[in-house]
Amino acid sequence: MNPLIWIIPVLPLLSFVLLLLFGRRLKEASAHVGALLTLGSLVLSIVVLLNQWGGEPVKETLSWLTFGETTLSAGYLVNPLNALMLVIVSLVSFLVQVYSGGYMHDDDRFPIFFAYLGLFTFAMLGLVLSPNLLQLYVFWELVGVGSFLLIGYYFYKREARSAAKKAFIMTRIGDVGLFIGMILLFWQVGSFEFDEIFAAVEAGEISEGWITLTAILIFVGAIGKSGQFPLHTWLPDAMEGPTPVSALIHAATMVAAGVYLVAAMFPLFQASEAALTTVAVVGGFTAIFAATIGLAQADIKRVLAYSTVSQLGYMMLALGSSGYVAGVFHLTTHAFFKALLFLAAGSVIHAVHTQNIHEMGGLWKKMKWTAPLFLIGAMAISGVPGLSGFFSKDEILAATYADGRFGLFWIAVIAAFLTAFYMFRLFFLVFTGESRGIQEKVKESPVSMTFPMIVLGILALIGGLINTPFATYLSDFLAQNEALEIHHHETRWWIPVVATGVSLLGILMAWLVYVKKKVTRFSESAPDLHYILLNKYFIDETYDYSFVKGTRALSYFWYYIDRFVVEGLVGLVTGIVGWFSKIGSRFQNGQVQLYSSVAFAGMAILLLVVAWIGGYLT
Amino acid sequence: MTLDKLLSFDWGMMAPEFSIVITAILLSLIDLFMPNKVSRKPLALLGLAGIIVAIVFAVLQVGDPVGSILFDTYRFDSFALAFKLLFLVATAMIFLLALDFEGESKWAYRGEFYYLLMTALLGAMMMASSADLITLFVGLELLSISSYILAGIRKRNFHSNEAAFKYVVNGGIATAITLFGMSYIYGLTGQTNLYAISEMLVDPRVQENSFLVIMAFVMMFVGLSFKISAAPFHMWAPDVYQGSPTPVTTFLSVVSKMAGFTLILRLFFVIFLGTQGWHNQILLDAQPFIAFVAGATMVIGNVVALRQRNIKRMFAYSSIAHAGYVLVPFVSLSLIVFKTTWFYLLAYLLMNIGAFAVIQFVTSREKSEDFTAFSGLNKRAPLTAFMMAIFIISLAGLPFTAGFIGKFGIFMSSLGTGHYILASVMIATTVVSYVYYFNVMVQIYFRKGAGNRIRPTAGLAVVMVICTIGTLLFGIYPSLALDFFQSGFDINDLFTPSE
């Protein structure tokens, strides 16, 4: 056992326990405890990543439970993919904890917030290190619990409560798929271990149909966690949580867990063309679907939330198009720039106390750090050449094209245009022009908040350099994993040009509409369309009228069944048991002769029964 | 037998037994010459030391090849050793309980108590090691007779007297039935050695009388069901458990019961499987019979426990129910039976001794054995309350405790061999058991109790803590115990006759 590795998730767990026990006494020093312990995880994660560079995958397990021939084990697995994830998770978690030290200042339940962050980080790191599906599932659920607590942190707000509940239930729907897929795989392979499953797939021990079925069921789990259509509706609502939480959970970690799951199970998906197509189509559709909704939202965090859904769709599209490297690469760069955007948005909200972008404006001069950092994030996500998002998005487009999915390719291009447009709509409305309604004096946020943003800003700027067409570090690193067949596809020269073109076009459009006001806003030119987008295609309403109301009606029915039929039966059963119990204790009358008679009678009956069953009486 | 022959046996193998014998003799001599007024506490410590020495010897024997002495009547194999270790550990903890039990002044004859516990333990160990009907019976009686006296050791206590009387009468009848069954076996085969009997059973002359063999089987089983308090010989248990001093109750419900299971496993498996393998017709015929006994025991134990208010009585029924669970793997007839039974008994040892330690603590402080004595325990002794909660959760068989893993193993063994009815009975009665277990839990956590903070003595605290740690450790990481059993004890050598 290498203590270097297993201690990575233990440190945040320690933070959780310590803050739960001593949080009241530590007060705002809790932030230091949490951040320092997570920093420890970050340092260790970086060491692990460096060891992985050119090193061998490490897997160590202890047998946990044995019954019959099967052994369930617990342990950890480090390969290039999860070494990278370890660094992303611990880095973003560390920065978010530093940031929260400033953002959550004066909150009544300050230590509890950091305790929850510790629990969540522990769960996420544990998930990443899991060497088998069962352990992954345990941590997967624990991540769900962590996010439930964090989204519902402002539990006194009704919206926060219902958002937390919604997030939990919607992701649970996906989890059922994952669970069934996991059990079916276990049934087919006889093991939960990743390597054994992949070996069985490779050896052709599982039929094509089973592979497709289990892969799609596992993907259903990923759909829930990563907010893909049609289970995406929880993610925008989850913005009711504190903004740092949005940066941690809804940019870099929990939502990425779904993408990670598909990437970690990639050899299974690769074995089934149908499963890959499902992933690609769901991803591509989500990418453009969420991007269009992002065009019309007025809440700064909701725009970012839909943008996250759309970007996660991109990652799924990449994975579904066999673009393993592209998907993981975009996961990495997205973690940087989206966390940056959320933190910057938090900084704005912290300063102006509103989330409505139509009430903001003219903040460029007042927020000397936040504004340029937000611009960097917006440029990165829009795919402005040279920034991180440009390279990863380019890689995805290339992978999709190389895989022959031309329809999805053009959808992705249009989504890229929309992304650039709505991001700069956001930027121009918030930072340029004149203030529209903010009276109070706007102050830049404290260093504890700007510092994490600067770190992320640098990463968003240069993060793309880890995998450019000229130097494929990440690709080579990930290719160390021998279970994968990584396709190298030639980037066609015109793909980056098209990508750059649509991105700049989007920015230009946004400039014309919102700064120059040369083009009428489409809320005026196409009010009906705008209305539909503003209401998110009425998906929530549809769900409300179909599933929620339907379930409620059904639940009334079952309530009465339960009330009168089931409870009646239960009453009957408990009555009978109680009656037997009464008879039994009456029978025990304290007389020795009775006890012995019972023994003799019992023996006589048993002898008779045995003789009868054994056929000795004939 | 000449002296030379006697000396030629490898007596070293008996080191754990000798430690117990010597300690018992020392204890009785010291007690004899000690002035009446002097505290008997050092005797308990001496007894404890003797058991620890025996544990050390036993641990050193792990992995030794099969050996036997006295013309193959007394065997040293992995099976015997694995169960002896459980007896020794359990009795060591019971000594700690006894140290705390009631004041010196109230309870004379404490010296006797300690060395009778030793001889009872010796009897249990003999039962685990015997390979001959005669030594086996001697071990059984040594355990039984010591236990009769132990149950009545509070001579002036009415309940204790009642317990001892009922125990003797029922025990006598059980012994008679067992012996009667054995006599059939002897009559049919002319042998007393288990392995020789096993060989004789395939003899055509014996096979013609297979009805008599199965009758002998049933009679021995019913007689031995007394020791494990299984139906139909379970009715003594509540009265005896209630009347005996709590440490003795603990001994009866844990060590004596484990010894009964050990004896049943060895007797029936060696006799009926030794030469004929798993497809022995008699065992197959007996399967539904054992299944019926197991099911009836689970139902009776759990259902009648519902109405008990006396906590010791409630736990007596609970212990009857657990005997039913442990009989389940016996129905499934495979080598797994040893592993699942051993692990379940280990879990049972930890959770039951732990629970009885808390019961002893609470009933002696509250001067009441009603289960409402536990009300508000959480306020008066939070740590003890928490540990009791763990024992209860484990006894109820909920996850993250050794009790769950044990029960899960038993459940899987019955499902795996297609005994679906038995498995469902097990699930149903387990659900019933939640009611009375959680009644105690409700008292501890949700009922207001009067009184100040109370604190267990050191001996009790040690037992509770060890049991809590064990219950949780083997619940979260059961491989620790299972691997120890798997690697240290080759159960197959149960069937290899020694040279």
Per-residue pLDDT reduced to its tens digit, A19-64: 877 777 777 778 888 888 888 888 888 888 888 877 777 888 877 7
Confirm whether B312 is domain-assigned.
yes
**Is residue B323 included in any domain, yes or no?**
yes
CB-based contact B307 A581, cutoff 8 Å: yes
| Residue B232 placed within a domain | yes
**Other CB atoms within 10 A of residue A38 CB:** 29
Find chain A residues with C-beta within 8 A of B219's C-beta. Answer: 603, 607
- A493 close to B (CB below 8 A): no
Answer whether residue B5 is part of any domain.
no
* Chain B nearest C-alpha distance from A59 (Å): 19
At residue B480, φ and ψ (nearest 5 deg) are -55, -50
A601 contact B CB<8A: yes
CB contact under 8 A, B218 and A607: yes
The whole-number pLDDT of residue A616 equals 67
- The end-to-end CA distance of chain A, in Å, is 66
B477 closest CB neighbour out of A64, A596, A613:
A64
Q: How far apart are CA B16 and CA B53, in angstroms?
A: 7
| Dist. CA A1–CA A13, nearest whole Å | 19
SS3 A481: coil
The verdict on residue B219 lying in a domain is: yes
Distance CA A603, CA B1 (A): 41
Q: Is the pLDDT of residue A1 over 70?
A: no
Q: Evaluate whether residue B102 is within a structural domain.
A: yes
Among B315, B194, B205, B210, residue whose Cα is nearest residue B265: B194
How far is it, in rounded angstroms, from Cα B227 to Cα B262?
11
A77: Cβ–Cβ under 8 A, 6 or more apart, which residues?
A: A57, A58, A59, A129, A130, A131, A194
Q: Do B232 and A614 touch (CB under 8 A)?
A: no
Amino acid present at A120: F
Taking an 8 Å cut-off on Cβ atoms, the answer to whether A65 and B478 are in contact is yes
Amino acid at A496: P
Task: Report residue B3: phi and psi, to 5°.
Answer: -65, -40
Report the alpha-carbon distance of residue A439 to residue B115 in Å, rounded. Answer: 90
Q: Which residue of A has its CA nearest to B334?
A: A68
CA distances for A188 relative to A127, A197, A202, A213, A273, angstroms: 23, 9, 14, 12, 19
For residue A588, the chain B residues in CB contact (below 8 A) are 235, 238-239, 304
B262 in any annotated domain: yes
The single residue listed with the structure tokens 């920015």 is A507
Task: Give the span between the Cα atoms of A587 and A411, in whole angstroms.
Answer: 79
CB B361 within 8 A of CB B460: yes
- Cα separation, B107 vs B101, whole angstroms: 9
Number of domains in chain B: 1
Check pLDDT > 70 for residue A245.
Answer: yes
The complex's ipTM works out to 0.82
Q: What is the pTM of this model?
A: 0.71
Chain A residues with CB under 8 Å of B284 CB are none
Q: Are A145 and A164 in contact (CB under 8 A)?
A: no
Please name the member of A578, A596, A613 whose beta carbon is closest to the beta carbon of B170. A596
Chain B residues touching residue A614 (CB < 8 angstroms):
211, 214, 285
What are the residues facing A132 on neighbouring strands?
A193
User: Model confidence at A486, in pLDDT bands (50, 70, 90)?
Assistant: low
Q: Which two tokens stand for residue B267?
A: 């007797």
Pairing type for strands B67-69 and B74-76 reads antiparallel
Indicate whether A427 pLDDT > 70: yes
A540 or B315, higher pLDDT: B315
**Cβ separation B222–A606 shorter than 8 A:** yes
| Closest Cβ opposite residue B215 in set A68, A594, A607 | A607
Question: Beta-carbon neighbour count of residue B64 at 10 Å?
Answer: 12
- DSSP letter (8 states) at residue B155: T
Q: What's the DSSP call for residue A318?
A: H
Q: Which of residues 575-594 of A touch B (CB under 8 A)?
A: 577-578, 580-582, 584-585, 588, 590, 592, 594
Nearest Cβ partner for A66 among B304, B416, B482: B482
Q: B434, exposed or middle or buried, with CB in 10 Å at 0-12, 13-18, 19+? A: middle
Domain encompassing residue B269: 14-495
CB contact under 8 A, B169 and A592: yes
Q: Residue B202: pLDDT above 90?
A: no
B75 DSSP 8-state letter: E
Q: In angstroms, rounded to a whole number, what is the distance separating the alpha carbons of residues B249 and B241?
A: 5
What is the pLDDT confidence band of residue B104, given thresholds at 50, 70 and 90?
Answer: very low
Contacts of B126 (CB under 8 A, 6+ apart): B17, B74, B135, B136, B138, B139, B142, B143
User: Is B223 within 8 Å of B174 (Cβ atoms)?
Assistant: yes
CA distance B238 to B166: 11
B283 falls within a domain = yes
Q: Token pair of B214, please?
A: 């199965």
Average pLDDT score over residue span A422-433: 83
Across the range A444-466, mean pLDDT stands at 82
State the average pLDDT over residues A214-223: 88
Which pair of tokens denotes residue B355? 């629970």
Question: Which of B159, B211, B304 should be substituted to probe chain A, the one whose Cβ sees the most A Cβ atoms within 10 Å?
Answer: B304
Q: Are A61 and A74 in contact (CB under 8 A)?
A: yes
- Give me the residue from A595, A600, A613 closest to B236, CB to CB: A595
Q: Is the pLDDT of residue B392 over 90?
A: yes
**Bond into B245 cis (ω within 30):** no
- Which of A67, A589, A616, A618 to mutate against chain B (most B CBs within 10 Å)? A67
